[in-house]
Structure 1
Amino acid sequence: MKTQTKSIKKRANKAIVTQDNRFIYAKYDMNANEMKFFMWIVAQLNSQKEQLFQVCEIPLSEIFQVWQWGETSEGYNYVRDLCYSMAKKAYVEDFKLLDEKTMKEKSVFQAMPLFKFIRYEQGQSYVTYQLNDSLTEYLLDLKRDFTQLKFSDIQQMKSAYSIRIYNMLVCELKQNRQSLKMNLAVLQNILEVPKSLQDWQGFQRRVLAQAKKDINAKSNLILLDIKTFKTGRKITDLEFIFDYKNNDKRIQRDKEKQDSFNEALIKAIESYAGKSIYFKDYGELIYRNWQWENNDKKRIFAVFTRKSDEKLICFLVKNFKDINALQKAKDKAEEMFYLDTEAVKAGLEFKKKLEQGSLFNLNSLLSPKK
């Protein structure tokens, strides 16, 4: 038994729950044990390769280990009740859609049972189940817009609400966001919070405070703050502020954010290819290329050639304010060009010759007049 316990613990530490992001923000009502049972089942799927749900068996001893329970007769009775409860659980989509014919919003409600069947036979040491085929697009063959989390990060949480909120925070972090703002009523609807907990005091104490306690003590995240926003005197919106506890993951996330930002800057710089800019202190400059400072991929320079003497002029581009400065310089160069009527005429004549294919006198057009 000790060997099996150790084996399950090792598997739990490696188990990865993978879900489509839509599944994370869907409605389904489960208690903490039901959530852990279902998430454990999801963690056993190969979400990247499998395309169909198979009939599976899960040993009762494994279920107890997932819950971190000992095996008792009460536990076996609880499993039977669990199966009965899980058979009624459904994934629910409840949203508004724009009708293309009437151009008016209409409500859409769709419910899909989680299990095709779930079976426990007294005297047997396992539960047999098969997930519902309608869930394949949310749990199998996932290529984009999905979130992965470690099962061990939810295993010790006491509240199902904590697990649901943790899923949402991980989903946002995977998209390089460290805050999540949500309407209070929408959040309560997603979590299927009963009416008894929908008043602010009850919701704050039983749901939010417990979620902060569970997430900060049991997971790899830290929920730094839950800000409230009022409409009039009533709290109507919340904002969760969070981050990874692990400094290495924060560094990796920050690097990914910086890489993404740099890519956007480079794309903006490259839009100046073939264009001129004008600065009073430098004169007219023509874009040449961009480059990293000392190849360390931290600071980007836009490189221009001065038209008057072909000297290289480099501009440090740290953010989009610097891009705006280049844009103003480009506009200034265009303004000065159109003020020079001779240059405009030569440019139009050159364009006309190109369009007509009359390039035999191209050199004479480009040569400076003596």
Structure 2
Amino acid sequence: MPNLRVCKSNALVEAAYRLTLGEHRVILACIAQVRRDAPISDQILYEVRALEIAERSGIARQTAYEELEKAAQTLFERYVSVPYSPDGGSPAKRKFRWVQLVDYVPSDGLVRLQFTTAILPYLADLSERYTIYSIADVAKMTSAYGVRLYELLVQWRGVGYQREVELDWLRQVFQLEDRYPSIKDLKKWVIEPAVEQVNEHSPLHVTWDQRKTGRKVSHLIFTFAPKEETKTNMSTKHKATPKQALDLEQPRTLSEAELSRLAYPGESREAALRRLNAVL
């Protein structure tokens, strides 16, 4: 199969949304078909076949057919929520759907869909502030949380091999709502399975740690590197130690290019630096 690549704006990578694994597979397969060397329109139909999903993901054909049918029934209701600051104005939250049309052809095991107008700027005409990876990196994952975690790590690879996130922010991005309120359950059902999936199926190896504010766990620290680097290098060069975890409280130094790539659309330089805890 062709080596399809997924390209998303950083704002979409960090957006709040929840998709099932089957929905992820359909959406990513369609995003990978978006042409970036030609005008894009919300009238373009993208096709995904169950046989393609089965081959790419290594699952049984019958499972792929069932997964595709379920995704076709639910994708129209899925939405994305992103922070938005029009022309440097007051911060707002913008909500929009992924798709405006879904066709399901049972006899062919085929789904056709059209993306909404609102989501197109997050998928095309991306000259900066975007994340790109091969769809094969996540194709065999069996957890939607694994897909989301991988994207959050790949987004950060141009800045370093360590990413610290606020626990409340991660809950919001994964749209966990009231599920897994205890840190113990969150680790068991979300964090540990996601890390397992990244380590088993992606080109990255990741470890994680936690940081407390007072007596409460407030941040998660993910340390990652390409698998071709030796385990020795991982442990000596990139493994988070308590001292390194504390050092993350200090502002990170970014270049202008890195800041431009990581900033949200419409976000001011000062707001981006505050959000990223960074300096130039």
Quick check: TM above 0.5?
Answer: yes
Letter in 2 for 1:195: D
Higher Cα Rg: structure 1 or 2? 1
Question: Match for residue 271 of structure 2?
Answer: none
State how far apart, in whole Å, the 1-side matches of 2:37 and 2:12 are: 16
Matched-pair contact (CA < 8 Å) for 2:162–2:222: yes
Q: 1:93 aligns with which of 82, 86, 103?
A: 82
How far does the alpha carbon of each residue in 1:122-142 deviate from its partner, in whole angstroms, 9 at most, with x for none? 434422211112111110111
Alignment partner of 1:157: what SS? coil
What residue is the counterpart of 1:47 in the other structure?
36
2:85 and 2:45 map into 1 onto residues whose CA distance is: 35
Task: Check conservation: 1:40, 1:66, Cα contact below 8 A.
Answer: no
Partner SS for 1:213 = helix
Q: TM-score, normalised by structure 1?
A: 0.57
- C-alpha contact (below 8 Å) 2:51/2:64 kept by paired residues: no
Whole-angstrom CA distance in 1 between matches of 2:129 and 2:13: 11
* CA deviation vs aligned residue, 1:192-212 (integer Å, no higher than 9, x gap): 124232310011111111122
Q: Does 1:108 align with 2:108?
A: no
Q: Which has the higher contact order (CA 8 A, sep 6+)?
A: 2
Change in 2 beyond 3 A, CA 1:57/1:158: closer
Match of 2:148 in 1: 164
Counterpart-to-counterpart distance in 2, 1:125 and 1:85: 16
Q: Which residue of 1 aligns with 2:210?
A: 228
> Quick one: percent identity of the two aligned structures?
19
RMSD, aligned CA: 2.7
Q: Does 1:25 align with 2:14?
A: yes
Q: 2-side partners of 1:230 and 1:98: how far apart? A: 36
Write the letter of the residue equivalent to 1:219.
S
Q: Which amino acid aligns with 1:152?
A: A
Aligned partners of 1:231, 1:128: CA distance in 2, in Å?
Answer: 47
Deviation at 1:189? Answer: 0.6
Alpha-carbon shift at residue 185 of structure 1 (Å): 0.6
How many Å apart are 1:78 and its aligned residue? 4.2
Partners of 2:88 and 2:229 in 1: CA distance: 47
- Aligned equivalents of 1:38, 1:170: Cα separation in 2: 18
How far apart are residue 244 of structure 1 and its match? 1.5
Distance 1:207 1:126 in 2: 31
- TM-score w.r.t. the length of structure 2 is 0.74
- The Cα of 1:48 is off from its aligned counterpart by 4.5
Of the structure 1 ranges 56-65 and 210-219, higher mean CA displacement relative to structure 2 is found in 56-65
Once residues 201 and 157 of structure 1 are traced to their aligned partners in structure 2, the CA distance between those partners, rounded to angstroms, is: 23
Deviation, structure 1 residue 247: 4.3
Query: Quick one: distance in 2 between partners of 1:143 and 1:107?
Result: 24
> CA offset at residue 57 of structure 1?
2.7
Q: Secondary structure at the match of 2:159?
A: coil
Q: Which amino acid aligns with 2:186?
A: F
Determine if the alignment matches structure 1 residue 207 to structure 2 residue 196: no
Aligned: 1:150 with 2:140: no
Q: Is the 8 A contact 1:36 1:66 kept in 2?
A: no
Deviations 1:281-311 (A, max 9, x none): xxxxxxxxxxxxxxxxxxxxxxxxxxxxxxx
Q: How far does the alpha carbon of each residue in 1:166-203 deviate from its partner, in whole angstroms, 9 at most, with x for none?
A: 10110100x23211111101111101124232310011
Answering whether residue 103 of structure 2 is matched by residue 119 of structure 1, we say yes
The answer for unaligned runs of 5 or more in structure 2 is 234-253, 256-280
**Equivalent residue letter for 1:159:** S
What is the rounded CA distance, in whole Å, between the counterparts of 1:130 and 1:70 in structure 2? Answer: 27
Assess if the C-alpha contact under 8 Å between 2:16 and 2:175 holds in 1: yes
Shift in Å, 1:45: 1.5
Q: Which amino acid aligns with 1:169?
A: L
Between the aligned partners of 2:82 and 2:16, the Cα distance in structure 1 is 7
1:246 aligns with 2:235: no
SS at match of 1:40: helix
* CA–CA separation in structure 2 for the residues paired with 1:117 and 1:196: 30
- How far apart, CA to CA, are the structure 2 residues paired with 1:17 and 1:127? 19
> What is the number of residues matched between the two proteins?
232
In the alignment, is the contact (CA less than 8 A) between 1:119 and 1:128 conserved in 2? yes
SS in 1 for 2:179: helix
Q: 1:129 aligns with which of 113, 128, 135?
A: 113
